[in-house]
Amino acid sequence: MKGADAEQRAADHLQGLGRRILVRNYRIPGGEIDIVSQDGAGTLYFTEVRQRRQARFGSALESVTSRKLALMQRAALTYLVRERGRDDLPCRLEVLTIDGLAGQGALNIVPIDF
């Protein structure tokens, strides 16, 4: 259940930033986007949520591999084409990290070049 708790905290945080949550857990074969949101200007955000209770095996951000980023990009492009009918909309990839317990750990948003 800890993953769901982290995703819920992330969604709440993104809404607190003024974003509207469009989709949670958007899946395609071989890939997934945890949260798709949109800001008031219309920019879409594709967010991977990562949480680590302890840093013994690395931080939450360090758990994101280049393979995961490639799969996120593929899922984001699929979302744009299937759900929005085009692939040239303003959008961003990001990783939202929670280092510590899901409900109270340090939260950070890291933009990823797309």
The CATH number of the domain where 71 resides is what?
3.40.1350.10
User: Is there a contact between 99 and 60 (Cβ–Cβ < 8 Å)?
Assistant: yes
Report the pLDDT value the prediction gives residue 1, as an integer from 0 to 100: 43
Global pTM value: 0.92
Report the pLDDT value the prediction gives residue 114, as an integer from 0 to 100: 66
Please give the share of the chain, as a percent, with pLDDT higher than 70: 96
Between the alpha carbon of residue 69 and those of residues 40, 48, 53, 109, the distances in Å are 25, 9, 22, 15
Report the pLDDT value the prediction gives residue 2, as an integer from 0 to 100: 59
Q: What are 93-103's pLDDT values in tens digits?
A: 999 999 888 88
Range of the domain at 33: 2-112
d(CA 91, CA 80) in angstroms, rounded, equals 9
Domain count, the chain: 1
Residue for token pair 């949101």: 37
d(CA 99, CA 114) in angstroms, rounded, equals 24
**Region for residue 18 given its phi and psi (left: phi exceeds 0; alpha: psi -120 to 50; beta: otherwise):** left
Runs of H (alpha helix) within 19-84: 66-84
